[in-house]
Amino acid sequence: MKKSASEALPNSQEYTVSELSSALKRTVESAYEHVRVRGEISGFRGAVASGHCYFALKDESAKIEAVIWKGVFGRMKFKPQEGLEIIATGKLTTYPGSSKYQIVIEAIEPAGVGALMALMEERKKKLAAEGLFDESRKQLLPWLPDVIGVVTSPTGAVIRDILHRLEDRFPRRVLVWPVRVQGEGSAEQIASAIHGFNALPEKGKIPRPDLLIVARGGGSLEDLWSFNEEIVVRAAAESMIPLISAVGHETDITLIDFAADKRAPTPTAAAEMAVPVRAELAVEVSGLARQAFAYWKRAQENRRSEFRGAARALPKPVDLLNIPRQRLDRAAAQLPRALRANAHVYERRLSAIGARLTVNMLKTRIVRGREQVARLAASALRSNKLHIEQRRTRLQYVSQLLNALSYKGVLDRGFALVRDMNGMPLHHAASVSAGQRISIEFADGHIGAVSEGSPSAGSKEPSKPKTAAKRPADGTKKVQGDLF
């Protein structure tokens, strides 16, 4: 009879699921603490909300889950992308929640130049589709910049080659923005330098460059990879200052070359593109000056020839004056006779006018003038009298109207006007209080009075004044107040 597994191993150790998972985790991590795995990235979706990245590495027959923690992902020079073949460095561990093993990646690198070239070609297509490489975006380089900004390593041979070449050709002021040109953080520094030069004010303490040169010496594709990063390419495309890329040797191609306004095969060639040769420029200026003088001299000779031809076509000054002189002589000879004839004409006119001016005619005109003045004076006098009469009649009418409307006429008919002490008319008996001083105006004058009491309601006849005052019991005479 066959025994069960529990009967066959009565002394086997018993594990919980958690204990077994922890034991497996320790075993895997101790056996594969540091590994390098080559494979193709599959299922990459970018960093999740926590900042961690999850994907898988696969080859032809197997697949392993992978994770990159947030802090490690932010420091990575090469970022993982879907389909990219990489060599991942990290350690194996297990995930108890799903009974899976996975690799925790600490660093990645492309698996050979072919992977880098594929990644570079894919990125080039993406940026080109956005229009960053269009020729219409590129700016013309200044012919002779006053200030040149250089973005490069401050310790390499590149900056010395650029400065030496500028000194030989045409010395200019150079501003160097030191950056790392390879390794971790180099792409961010290069992009920040380009943005920093563009942010300088045009007339600030530090002058804003007229031209930028982004330069680096030769190297492998991995060494030049910083100049293929999107952040660098976008910074070069957005630069408002014309930019020359001079990265690597003549055969080295990076993505910044397509976004720059001009690509130089070497840093030295970039300096040659930036400025002309001063000696050659001086020779050219001298040649242009000689050429301009020759043109001016030739133009002067042409004008002189034209002037001579025009002078030959014109008549001589003596010939121009002969005819006017002849006319003047003829007019001078005819002038005495014409003056005498003109004087005789005006003398006859004066005699005819004088014959008409007799004494009787003048007297008649004087008499007529006096009569006209007298008529005008009489007419003006009549007009003034009529106007005065009209004004007098108008004044009398207004005066009569004023007397008719004045309250004085009412007083003349026996009425009186009662006012308070402020001169305001009192229209109702109810408005007068006992003991109030009032003023009464008659036709022949004013008198003052004091109100004795309040008026009786509904009384139509005034009360009769008392004729005598009663004597008090003590025999004294009591004085009665009087309305007036």
Number of Cβ within a 10 Å radius of residue 233: 26
Q: How far apart are the first and last CA of the chain?
A: 159
User: Which two three-digit tokens encode residue 470?
Assistant: 């009663």
Give the sign of the dihedral formed by CA 252, CA 253, CA 256, CA 257: positive
Q: How confident is the model at residue 480 (pLDDT cuts 50, 70, 90)?
A: very low
User: What totals of helices (H) and strands (E) does the chain contain, helices first?
Assistant: 13, 13
Q: Detail the DSSP E strand segments found in 96-146.
A: 100-110
460 falls in which pLDDT band (50, 70, 90)?
very low
Mean pLDDT of 35-63: 88
* CATH number assigned to the domain covering 17-111: 2.40.50.140
pLDDT of 169 higher than 60: yes
Categorize the per-residue pLDDT at 10 as very low, low, confident or very high, splitting at 50, 70 and 90: low
CA 187 to chain centre: 35
Which stretch of DSSP H or E encloses residue 35? strand 35-42
Pairwise CA distance, residues 264 & 245, whole Å: 6
- The pLDDT assigned to 483 comes to 39
Kindly report, residue by residue over 62-91, the tens digit of the pLDDT: 999 999 998 888 888 777 888 788 888 999
CATH superfamily of 136-276: Succinyl-CoA synthetase domains (3.40.50.261)
Name 330's bridge partners. Answer: none
**What are the percentages of helix, strand and coil residues in the chain, rounded to 5?**
50, 15, 35
Structure tokens at 426: 């009192």
Report which secondary-structure segment, H or E, holds 169.
Answer: helix 157-169
CA-CA-CA-CA torsion sign (228, 251, 177, 259): negative
464 pLDDT exceeds 60? no
pLDDT at residue 100 in the model:
82
From residue 102, alpha-carbon distances to 94, 119, 126, 408 in Å are: 6, 25, 32, 126
Sheet order of strands, 445-450 included: 417-420, 437-442, 445-450
The whole-number average pLDDT for the span 166-174 is 93
The more confidently predicted of residues 63 and 222 is 63
* Count of all residues that appear for the chain in the document: 484
- Check residue 74 and give its pLDDT: 82
Locate the domains of the chain by residue range: 17-111, 136-276, 417-450
Torsion 332-336-339-341 (CA) sign: negative
Q: Which of 42-51, 126-135, 281-290, 454-463 has the highest mean pLDDT?
A: 126-135
